[in-house]
């Protein structure tokens, strides 16, 4: 009897440990702190922005360093945030003043918090400076909010609304190559404000042409290469604010992106 009870206790203990690990692994949503091994890339301050980010100097680049994205007062709690409203991108001129992390990545987990100030506010989060996860108030189509742009609709609408903080939690797996040939498309899992909206979906190409990101001009965006890339934020002349961005490099060889 004692042996049986002891076995049951071990089973319960192991189950609790497993559940705790799973919860910790999938910790998501606004306010989520960097997990073990992650690096805070943007705390809302101009100081960290200039330290860890740079302009992406693509074909349409027309800004002048240093980065002109401004530090603003967080309209929710009075802290610091960074606005994507760079004057060089006025009128929706994407690629003119986008910013990208100085560090480049293959597989990674990322957390990005954003606030859209005004109706129609537009920006975007680019994974590996290639694949856009859209930020666009008022649009839920394939080119709309939380879409893997032009490819995958979010499973549900989880937007907190104008003037409120929102969070993307992302696990991304880079495309795989063998002897220089593409053998596996990039894949991604995304939580939006704590709700899983994309589960290990594949990404076919870079959309938007050469002004959009790495490989955008290769074979109409289908010519993906094995080059690593940074996390990029898009400037489109709108007040979209960012804070609490962190990234942890991963190695997902033989693994799914689901978490």
Domains of the chain: 2-250 (2.60.120.560)
Cα separation, 224 vs 161, whole angstroms: 34
pLDDT digits (tens, 9 = 90+) for 72-108: 999 999 999 999 999 999 999 999 999 999 999 999 9
Q: What is the pLDDT of residue 13?
A: 42
Q: What percent of the chain has pLDDT over 70?
A: 90
Residue 16 clears pLDDT 90, i.e. is over it: no
Instruction: Categorize the per-residue pLDDT at 4 as very low, low, confident or very high, splitting at 50, 70 and 90.
Output: very low
Q: Give the residue among 234, 196, 184 at the shortest CA–CA distance from 84.
A: 234
CA angle (95 as vertex; 111, 59 as ends), nearest 5: 130
Compute the average pLDDT of residues 47-72.
Answer: 98
Residue 18 clears pLDDT 60, i.e. is over it: no
pTM for this prediction: 0.90
Q: What is the pLDDT of residue 8?
A: 43
pLDDT digits (tens, 9 = 90+) for 157-206: 999 999 999 999 999 999 999 999 999 999 999 999 999 999 999 999 99
Cα separation, 240 vs 122, whole angstroms: 7
């Amino acid at each position: 009897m004692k042996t049986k009870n002891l076995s049951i206790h071990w089973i319960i203990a192991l189950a609790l440990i497993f559940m705790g690990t799973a919860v910790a692994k999938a910790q998501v949503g606004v306010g989520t702190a960097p997990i073990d091994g992650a690096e805070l890339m943007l705390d809302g301050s101009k100081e960290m922005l200039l330290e860890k980010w740079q302009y992406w100097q693509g074909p349409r680049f027309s800004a002048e360093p240093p980065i002109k994205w401004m530090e603003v007062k967080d309209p929710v709690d009075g802290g610091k945030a960074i606005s994507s409203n760079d004057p060089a991108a006025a009128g929706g001129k994407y690629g003119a003043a986008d910013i990208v992390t100085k560090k480049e990545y293959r597989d990674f987990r990322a957390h990005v918090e954003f606030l859209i100030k005004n109706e129609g506010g537009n920006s975007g989060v680019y994974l590996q400076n290639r694949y856009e996860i859209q930020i666009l108030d008022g649009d839920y189509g394939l080119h709309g909010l939380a879409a893997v742009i032009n490819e995958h609709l979010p499973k549900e609408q989880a937007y907190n609304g104008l003037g409120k903080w929102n969070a993307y939690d992302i696990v991304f797996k880079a495309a795989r190559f063998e002897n220089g040939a593409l053998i596996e498309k990039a894949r991604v899992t995304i939580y939006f404000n704590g709700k899983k909206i994309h589960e290990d979906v594949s990404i076919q190409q870079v959309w938007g042409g050469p002004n959009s990101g790495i490989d955008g001009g290769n074979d109409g965006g289908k010519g993906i290469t094995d080059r690593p890339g940074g996390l990029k934020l898009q400037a489109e002349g709108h007040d979209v604010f960012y804070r609490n961005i962190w990234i942890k490099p991963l190695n997902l060889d033989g693994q799914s992106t689901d978490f």
